[in-house]
Amino acid sequence: MATEYDYWKIFPRMPKKVSIGDITIRDGFQHEERFISTQAKIFYGQESILAGCRELEVTNMAAGTTPQFVDGAEVMKAMRSDEFRKRASRQGIDLDKDVCLTAVTIREPSVDKAIQWRKEGYGPDRILMMVSTDPEHHFANSGSTLTQYWREAEKCIKKARDAGMKMVGTVSTIWGSPISGATKLQDAVEFTKRWFEIGAHDIEHADHDGSANAADVYRYFSMILDAMPNPEAHLCHLHETKRVASSSILAALHAGITRFEATFGGLGGQPANFLDDCPIRGTGEYYYDDPRYVGLICLEDLLVQVDELGIEHGYDVDRILWLGRKMEKTIGRRLRSEAVINGRTQKAGHMKFARPGLKKLIDKLGEKQGQRVPPDWKAEAVLPENWGPSDPLWKK
């Protein structure tokens, strides 16, 4: 039986077009122990949209526990400003129709605040609440039991719908929890159904500590799309702690997932428990032995990976790589993107690295330009009866 070489025939659910959201100025910055200026948040949010982002996570409305976002209203207003509308319009972008702005609202008071911002003309299009399949992780994140939270989420979704806002329901700790360890994949499938049952618009399927591996990611998203087959309803959110997330991205693509999100430089992780010179609440002590080596999948590297696969994504990749280099200066350290250093694969090669003299040597030897094997050899190689390890010469 001949091997099938067409990737999309092997994985018929694999998309040829994806959507990639940028959540840097929220999830990326929440892990930073230094306050990132309002101007920087606005700059990167707006520039990401101009570079092709159509789903931008702008802020966390619970500034009490995450004071990195005390400027959330100002940042959100800048995304809706007349000045930015004009800039976007010049690039053919209609901010109202083309771009979805999201704010994290975990609990009801934040949902109420988002609704108020909406009434004042600058609120988000979409808000986010989150459950974890691990009750301990859920309690650390929200301060409530799962039962309490489901009731609250049901109430908040109705409020959001009445205000004209979408609610994304996040299911977290799918592939493992930093507190209680592994949970059952089927539990996350059931939680996804629960979100839709109470009116959520879409679901973020989240690995929040880098527990995911490619085999389980493929298995889980295949289960999800078997049960709820509209890929537009599902969003893949992966963290990177062991340099294996790119394989999980590929596995999610194989399963048929079309929506992803990432951060510049792989920034992000658990909310910081220190800001500038002062300890803050965050979500308690860090789950990691070294909080420097955590975060989300890198936007820059993800885009290059998807681009190399020939999958449409809508971004100006070179502009994103330029922004990634700027982000390293903003944060003040080397981040985790390889693509910002090594760039994209150049199909035309780099002839500047060629050693001089090959043409002259070919002419001197009387060979033809483009000749690759001796002229008296057959046009195609013929394998001997015994080759490689089957050759008796190599047997011990």
Long-range contacts of 155-159 (CB under 8 A, 24+ apart): 155/108, 156/105, 156/108, 156/111, 156/129, 157/198, 157/199, 157/200, 158/199, 159/111, 159/112, 159/115
Those residues of the chain that have pLDDT short of 50 are: none
DSSP assignment of 165-211, as one string?
A: -EEEEEEE-SS-BTTTB---HHHHHHHHHHHHHTT-SEEEEE-SSS-
Which of 140, 132, 194 is CA-nearest to residue 167?
194
- Distance between CA 38 and CA 200 in Å, rounded? 31
What pLDDT sits at residue 41?
Answer: 98
Element at 42 (helix H, strand E): helix 38-50
Task: Give tens-digit pLDDT for 107-126.
Answer: 999 999 999 999 999 999 99
pTM of the model: 0.94
**Phi, psi (degrees; rounded to nearest 5) at 274:** -145, 140
Task: Give tens-digit pLDDT for 266-305.
Answer: 999 989 999 999 999 888 888 888 888 899 999 999 999 9
What pLDDT sits at residue 350?
Answer: 85
Residue 268: Cβ within 10 Å count = 25
What pLDDT sits at residue 10?
Answer: 96
Which of 250, 366, 297, 288 is CA-nearest to residue 27?
297
Residue 139: Cβ within 10 Å count = 16
What sign results for the dihedral spanned by CA atoms 328, 334, 339, 343?
positive
Contacts of 394 (CB under 8 A, 6+ apart): 388
Instruction: Give percent above pLDDT 70 in the chain.
Output: 100
**Looking at residue 22, what DSSP letter applies?**
E
Computed over every residue of the chain, the mean pLDDT equals: 95
Task: For Cα atoms 103, 228, 309, give the angle at the middle one, nearest 5 degrees.
Answer: 75
What pLDDT sits at residue 19?
Answer: 98
How far is the first Cα of the chain from the last one, in angstroms, to the nearest whole number? 33
Joined together, the tokens standing for residue 79 give 């995304």
What pLDDT sits at residue 133?
Answer: 96
Cα dist. 176→139, 182, 209, 272 in Å? Answer: 15, 4, 8, 21
* CATH superfamily label, 17-342: Aldolase class I (3.20.20.70)
Cα dist. 221→37, 53, 188, 254, 258 in Å? Answer: 37, 24, 10, 9, 11
Joined together, the tokens standing for residue 295 give 């975060």
Ranges of each domain in the chain: 17-342, 352-394
Q: What is the residue whose two structure tokens read 């879409």?
A: 202
Element at 128 (helix H, strand E): strand 126-132
33, 66 Cβ separation under 8 angstroms: no
